[in-house]
Structure 1
Amino acid sequence: MDTVDPAPYRRRIVLAMGDAALKTLRAAAIAALSSSLILTAGSPALADDAPADTTAPVIDSIGLTEGQIYTRATTPFVPRVHDDTGVVTLETLVDGAHSRKFSVAKTGMRASADLLSVPDGTPAEITLLAYDAAGNVAEKTVRVIADVHVPTGTISPATLTVMHSGPLKVTVSDLPADIAKVALYSTSTGKDLDVRTEAPWTFNLTTVPGAEFINVRMTDANGNVGYAGATYDIDDTPPVISDVAYSRGPVVSGVPINVKVTTAGATIGPVGTLTATATDQTLRKTEWYVDGELKSTGSTLNWDDRASTRTSATVEIRATDALDQTTSKVFPVTIDRTGPVVTSLTPAQNALVRGSYFVTDSRVEDPSELVDAELVGLPSIANAPAGLAIYPTKDGPLTFTWRYVDKLGNESLASRTVIVDNTRPGLKLTKAPKNLAKVKGKVAVTAAASDKNGVAKVQLLINGKLVATDYRAGYAFSINTAKYGKTFKMQLRAYDRAGNYVSTTTRTYRRG
Structure 2
Amino acid sequence: MPYRRRIVLAMGDAALKTLRAAAIAALSSSLILTAGTPAFADDAPADTTAPVIDNIGLTDGQVYNQMSVFQPTVHDDTGVIMLETLVDGVRSRKFSVTRTGTRVGVDLTSVPDGTEVEIKLRAYDAAGNVAEKTVRVIADINVPHARISPASGTVMHSGPLTITVNDLPADIAKVALYDTGTGKNLDVRTEAPWTFDLTTVPGVKFVNLRLTDVRGNLGGASASYAIDDTPPVISDLAYSRESVVSGVPINVKVTTAGATIGPVGTLTATATDLTLRKTEWYVDGELKSTGSTLNWDDRASTRTSATIEIRATDALDQTTSKVFPVTIDRTGPVVTSLTPAQNALVRGSYFVTNSTVKVPSELVDAELVGLPSIANAPGGLAIYPKKDGPLTFTWWYVDKLGNQSFASRTVIVDNTRPALKLTKAPKNQAKLKGKVTVTATASDKNGVAKVQLLVNGKLVATDYRAGYAFSINTAKYGKTFKMQLRAYDRAGNYIYTTTRTYRRG
Q: State the TM-score bracket (shorter-chain normalisation).
A: 0.7 to 0.9
The one-letter code matched in structure 2 to 1:237 is T
Counterpart of 2:72 in structure 1: which amino acid? V
Per-residue CA deviation, residues 249-306 of structure 1 (Å, 9 max, x unaligned), is 1224553322222222233222222122222232222222222222222222111222
1:156 is matched with 149
Aligned to 1:389: 382
Instruction: State the distance in 1 between where 2:398 and 2:491 align.
Output: 33
Aligned residue runs from structure 1 range 54-453, under 5 A: 60-66=54-60, 68-78=62-72, 80=74, 98=90, 100=92, 112-115=105-108, 126=119, 141-144=134-137, 146-365=139-358, 369-453=362-446
Per-residue CA deviation, residues 156-185 of structure 1 (Å, 9 max, x unaligned), is 333333322221222223333333332222
1-structure distance, mates of 2:345, 2:200: 84
CA–CA separation in structure 2 for the residues paired with 1:347 and 1:68: 106
Q: 1:240 to 1:59 in 2, by over 3 A?
A: closer
Aligned residue pairs, count: 463
For the structure 1 residues 255 and 508, does the alpha-carbon distance in structure 2 shift closer, same or farther, using more than 3 Å as the test?
same
Structure 1: any 5+ residue segments left out of the alignment? Answer: 1-52
Contact 1:116 1:149 in 2 (8 A): no
- 1:482 partner SS: helix
Say if 2:155 and 2:226, in contact at 8 Å, map to a contact too. yes
Asked whether the 8 Å contact 1:91–1:99 carries over to 2, the reply is: no
User: What is the CA-CA distance between 1:419 and the residue it aligns to?
Assistant: 0.8
Relative to structure 1, is the Cα distance of residues 88 and 270 closer, same or farther in structure 2, using a 3 angstrom cutoff? closer
Q: Which residue of 2 aligns with 1:460?
A: 453
Classify the secondary structure of the residue corresponding to 1:303: strand
Larger Rg: 1
After TM superposition, the structure 1 stretch with the greater mean CA deviation from structure 2, 406-415 or 112-121, is: 112-121
C-alpha RMSD of the superposition: 3.7
Q: Is the 8 A contact 1:357 1:391 kept in 2?
A: yes
Q: Distance in 2 between matches of 1:476 and 1:144?
A: 136
**1:269·1:335 contact (CA, 8 Å) conserved in 2?**
yes
Q: Give the stretch that moved more between structures: 96-105 or 332-341.
A: 96-105
1:481 is aligned to 2:464: no
Partners of 2:387 and 2:151 lie apart in 1 by: 81
- Range with greater deviation from structure 2 (113-122 or 405-414): 113-122
Normalization by structure 2: what TM-score? 0.79
Q: Which residue of 1 aligns with 2:5?
A: none
Deviations 1:324-375 (A, max 9, x none): 2222222222323333333222212211111111112223336993322222
* Aligned-partner residue type, residue 495 of structure 1: Y
Alpha-carbon distance in 2 for matches of 1:277, 1:110 = 59
Structure-1-length-normalised TM-score: 0.78
In the alignment, structure 2 segments of 5+ residues that lack a partner are 1-47
Q: Distance in 2 between matches of 1:409 and 1:106?
A: 79
- Conserved? CA contact 2:456–2:483, under 8 Å: yes
Query: Percent sequence identity over matched residues?
Result: 81
- Following superposition of structure 1 onto structure 2, how do residues 18-33 of structure 1 map, counting pairs within 5 Å? none
* Alignment partners' CA distance in 1, 2:357 and 2:141: 86
Q: 8 Å contact 2:86–2:93 — kept in the other structure?
A: no
CA 1:332–1:368 in structure 2 vs 1: closer, same or farther (change >3 Å)? farther
Query: Which sits farther off after the overlay, 467-476 or 180-189?
Result: 180-189
Query: For residues 9-56 of structure 1, what are the alpha-carbon distances to aligned partners after superposition, in whole Å with 9 as ceiling and x for unaligned?
Result: xxxxxxxxxxxxxxxxxxxxxxxxxxxxxxxxxxxxxxxxxxxx9x99
Distance in 2 (CA, whole Å) between partners of 1:460 and 1:387 is 36
**3-state SS, counterpart of residue 170 of structure 2:** coil
Report the AA paired with residue 100 of structure 1.
Answer: S
